Chain A
Amino acid sequence: MSATTEAEPQASPPRARGDRIFAGLSRGAGIAILVALAAVFVFLAIEGVPGISKPASNYRPLDSFVPYVGRLLFGTIFAGLIALVIAVPFALGIALFISHYAPRALAAPVAYVIDLLAAVPSVVFGLWGARVLGHYLVPAHRWLDDHLGFIPFFKGPASVTGKTVLTAGVVLAIMILPIITAICREIFAQAPRLNEEAALALGATKWEMVRLSVFPYARSGMVSAIMLGLGRALGETMAVAMVISASPVYTLNMISNTNPATIASNIASSFAEATPDKLAVLIATGLVLFVFTFGVNFAARAIVTRSERKFER
């Protein structure tokens, strides 16, 4: 029998009109988001680039753009890192609890309550952080100063009002917790059940099962969740502006009353009285934040892709 009966070239799968519309809408949405992002970047570039070379009085009490934005960027990263260090273990723990450890009846209410945290406006967090949390953390600041004062992070002297980058970090951690938790718990729930059962069948404990069959599959998603949380922490404006007692300094000291401002909180503070020149400077700092966040996300994605490739091998 001739094996070369040439069948007609395989026709493409049937496409109804619904298919085409949906595909078009999806593509349109994707393009619209890219266009919006590009538009933001263009705005920042056009309005912000002149801000790099304005007269020195606009960078008071410093002299030029680079030291001005350097301190702000340092403060942004510092506050963001503190928030991550506090929030990520909690968030991963809660997500694991909801997806694997909790009895079914408890998982749904806990998830609901965590999601409610996300509904609190950031201004409210700022007010609470400045008036209540700062007050309550003053003894903690003093304890850190007394007992761990040899570490540069806790050099002190402890602030009497509690309006420090440590308190701001705690507030930011509470704000980014629901984001990371919500994404992670969905991802953990998607881990392949057969792998989990296989691990358990081979005699793994529950924690070992999670480590062997949930985390490897969840790694990319966890990094996405953490990056989203970090993005929010880096860009958080009013909460940080209200909590932090800010000065333009580089300092690793978390508990004193001299704290670096963040880029977003500086824009919020200086916006009202800003002359057009100062406004250009502020937008330029916004551009720096944009580029920085972009770079961090890019690096995180690259690391995840490389580790996934290693994993698949």
Chain B
Amino acid sequence: MNTTSIRRAIVPGIAVLALALSGCGASNDSGSDSDSDSGSNSGGEKLSGTLNGGGSSAQESAMGVWRAGFQSANEGVTVNYDPVGSGTGRENFISKAYSFAGSDSALSTDEGELDSAKERCGGEDPIEVPAYVSPIAVVYNLEGVDELNLSPSTIAGIFDDKITTWNDPAIAEDNPDADLPDTTITPVHRSDDSGTTKNFTDYLAKAADGAWSYDADSIWPKQGGEAAEQTSGMVATVKGGDGTIGYADESQAGGLGIAAIGVGEEFNKPSAEGAALVLASSPRTEGRADVDMAIDIDRTITESGAYPLLLASYLLACQHYDDANEAALVKGFLAYAVSEEGQQAAAEQAGSAPLDSELADEAAGVVDKIAVK
């Protein structure tokens, strides 16, 4: 054997060696958590298989946390979540392409989604549990102003281009002690289709006493004005200008001024407890089954400490599945997502607000009903 043929064998040899070693490494990692009882199924049996779901992109980071937790507790399980958007997620759930879906809004009745979902679930009501709650912060960048109170009608006036400077009497009324400059206000909205926009416009439509004349919409209803792509673009745009104001997920609003919004007589900043309080106090949507926890968020709540400007995202599933393994996987995964451990993990790593104990218990009870047909 001459040196040329040895040299030729080196590169492929190294490649094969690397592949073999990485294969060994992967199986070693996942073998260590089998003694923890995090997220494993109640029967103590090993779950395995692939679980397919998708939908809301707002839930994407929380889903990553839940997948990591669930997969590490149940080796042999692969959970796939495709953040294609809530609308497509619901459609794919109805068409049985997904076993479960994440959606920023509950299945709607006026477009027949609820009926189609009932059909998909073999004539039974589909399960909808709130799993991801994220407060939406009104963020602003104004030099010299660190604290800002804004009542809902003032916010509506600002974003409707009716209030154009920071020292407008309406804002001064909410902030009697603040020294407001006469900088022009530049409201920033999201240019893309967004659940955050939908919840923000819903809040303005319901809480602003008629100052906001548009319907709730996931695409910004006004034409014109500064627009930004995605939450990261929104935060960067508000940071990049003086006198800008926008709305973004509270977990991503670091470094920006956050306004306290008017709730009843007080002004409250975004908080996990405030959001959980609103969800717990809000009525359920009319005409839904017990397993369908669709909530009509009460944006006009006046309870102390409440923060009604929030995004609540649901997990959709069926009560019964044809395949036993599919049922077990959906049940196990959803149970993990709404469990205290799953909610805490999501709060820490994805910045969501954990469900309060009542809602979490109810959700866990609903998920427990999932079984094979």
Residues of A within 8 A of B (CB): 60-61, 130-131, 134-135, 157, 159-163, 241-242, 245-249, 257-258, 261, 269-270, 272-276, 278
Q: In the complex the two chains form, is B224's CB within 8 Å of A247's CB?
A: yes
Q: In the complex the two chains form, is A273's CB within 8 Å of B226's CB?
A: no
Also in contact, A134 and B240, with CB within 8 A (given A272-B83, A274-B85, A275-B87): yes
Q: In the complex the two chains form, is B57's CB within 8 Å of A242's CB?
A: no
Taking A245-B188, A249-B223, A269-B192 as given, write out 7 further A-B residue pairs in contact, using a Cβ cutoff of 8 Å, ordered by the A residue number. Answer: A130-B233, A162-B240, A245-B237, A247-B223, A257-B227, A261-B191, A278-B193
Docked CA distance A17–B184 (Å):
76
Residues of B within 8 A of A (CB): 57, 83-88, 91, 184, 186, 188, 191-194, 217-229, 233, 236-237, 240-244
User: Chain A: interface secondary structure?
Assistant: loop
Q: In the complex the two chains form, is B226's CB within 8 Å of A161's CB?
A: yes
Residues of B contacting A276 in the complex (Cβ-Cβ under 8 angstroms): 88, 91
The one of B222, B226, B228 that contacts A159, using a Cβ cutoff of 8 Å: B226
The one of B57, B184, B218, B237 that contacts A272, using a Cβ cutoff of 8 Å: B57
Also in contact, A249 and B224, with CB within 8 A (given A135-B240, A163-B237, A273-B86): yes
- With CB as the reference atom, state the residue of chain A lying closest to B194: A273
The one of B85, B223, B226 that contacts A245, using a Cβ cutoff of 8 Å: B226
Q: In the complex the two chains form, is B186's CB within 8 Å of A258's CB?
A: no
Also in contact, A273 and B85, with CB within 8 A (given A60-B217, A161-B186, A257-B225): yes
User: Chain B: interface secondary structure?
Assistant: loop
Docked CA distance A242–B84 (Å):
20
- For the complex of A and B, the 6 pairs showing the least CB-CB separation, nearest first, are A273-B85, A160-B241, A258-B224, A257-B226, A273-B193, A161-B241
Q: In the complex, what's the smallest C-beta–C-beta distance from B176 to chain A, in angstroms?
A: 27
Residues of B contacting A258 in the complex (Cβ-Cβ under 8 angstroms): 223-226
Residues of A contacting B91 in the complex (Cβ-Cβ under 8 angstroms): 275-276
Also in contact, A60 and B227, with CB within 8 A (given A131-B236, A131-B240, A161-B237): no
Q: In the complex, what's the smallest C-beta–C-beta distance from A293 to chain B, in angstroms?
A: 24
Residues of B contacting A61 in the complex (Cβ-Cβ under 8 angstroms): 217, 219-223
Docked CA distance A44–B10 (Å):
47
Also in contact, A257 and B186, with CB within 8 A (given A160-B242, A270-B193, A274-B85): yes
Q: In the complex the two chains form, is A246's CB within 8 Å of B191's CB?
A: yes
Docked CA distance A134–B237 (Å):
10
Q: In the complex the two chains form, is B88's CB within 8 Å of A247's CB?
A: no
Q: In the complex, what's the smallest C-beta–C-beta distance from B353 to chain A, in angstroms?
A: 23
Q: In the complex the two chains form, is B192's CB within 8 Å of A270's CB?
A: yes
Q: In the complex the two chains form, is B226's CB within 8 Å of A130's CB?
A: no
- With CB as the reference atom, state the residue of chain A lying closest to B214: A61
